[in-house]
Amino acid sequence: MTAPRNTGATREQLELFRALPGDLAPRDAQDLMAYPFFSLAKSRRTAPIDFHAGAIAIRVEAVAEHGMATIWDADVLIWAASQIVEARDRGLRPSRLLATTPYDILTFTGRGTGARDYQRLKAALDRLQSTTVATSIRQPSERRQHRFSWVNEWKERADASGRPLGIELILPDWFYAGVLDEALVLTIDRAYFALTGGLERWLYRLVRKHGGRQQGGWSFDFPHLHAKSGSLSPLKHFAFDLRDIARRQTLPGYRLQVVRDANDTERLLFAPLPADPLAQALRRKAQPGARL
């Protein structure tokens, strides 16, 4: 059973969903994996992302006070997608309005739970709320765009004596509707949360989205990857970083290879590695620390 997709719903109209406990499988939204929606840098970005490919148009804008939401901030959305899908699969009624604790989000995404980690999470929520997106994805035409922020609003909750009770956040309908469609969500490797580089995090999500489990793999040329990343890094530096990731083989579950095609253009080939049950079990247990 799923909650109705009411695009105009206010907090009063939304049914509160209390986050499920336990070690849920991480799920990611395919639209967010395939296109440039987040800053890949740890430094503050205010320059917008403008992406056009065929009928797909995306513009992401940030405010100077908080900067653009980063790919590390997007872990909050992975947590939210995992909650929504798990609730649906259990026959529960999910909602765009979620109640949880910072501890639950931090532990799910493999982070520490100290005071600084809590402050970083709050900063991430501020960036997710203040970053605005306009996109034609899942709209009838490129001219009709959906505009939203990654988090409509969020607040800290406390009892009458001021004791913290957790946080509440409201997800945008565009994101929520995509997650509820089973075809638009993929399970990701929990080892993703241990990736420390913004580019390798972005690349894993792209590879997982396009490579899937196709034994023949997939490939993209470097200029195409550069455009899809939304990175501010020049192509020359971007290509150097891609080669380094391929050399180090840091993406969980995939083998990378850099080759040159008939036009002497560098391409990144990626294919899934054979499943290793023991390694998968160890990765599920691992909760390495990372920073928002």
Mean pLDDT of 1-30: 76
Q: Does the pLDDT at position 2 exceed 70? A: no
pLDDT range class, residue 276, cuts 50, 70, 90? low
CB atoms within 10 A of CB 16: 10
Q: Domain locations in the chain?
A: 11-187, 191-285
In the DSSP assignment, the letter for residue 62 is: -
Phi, psi of 250 (to 5 degrees): -95, -10
Closest CA to 77 of 107, 110, 32: 32
CB atoms within 10 A of CB 223: 13
CB 188 within 8 A of CB 78: yes
pLDDT range class, residue 278, cuts 50, 70, 90? low
Mean pLDDT of 67-95: 97
**DSSP state string for 185-206:** EEE--GGGGG---HHHHHHHHH
Q: How far apart are CA 257 and CA 249, in angstroms?
A: 9
Give the pLDDT confidence score for residue 212 in this predicted structure. 66
Q: Does the pLDDT at position 9 exceed 80? A: no
Summarised one tens digit per residue, pLDDT across range 197-216 is 999 999 999 999 987 666 66
In the DSSP assignment, the letter for residue 65 is: T
CATH code for the domain defined by 191-285: 1.10.10
Q: Which two tokens stand for residue 235?
A: 């192509």
Q: Does the pLDDT at position 284 exceed 60? A: no
Mean pLDDT of 172-195: 94
Helix pair 75-89, 115-130: axis angle to 10 deg: 80
Q: What is the pTM of this model?
A: 0.89
Question: Which one has a higher pLDDT value, 269 or 144?
Answer: 269
Mean pLDDT of 104-131: 97
Write down the H helix ranges in the chain: 30-34, 75-89, 102-108, 115-130, 173-180, 198-211, 222-229, 235-248, 277-285
Q: What percent of the chain has pLDDT over 70?
A: 87
Q: Does the pLDDT at position 242 exceed 50? A: yes
Mean pLDDT of 260-270: 91
Give the pLDDT confidence score for residue 22 in this predicted structure. 85
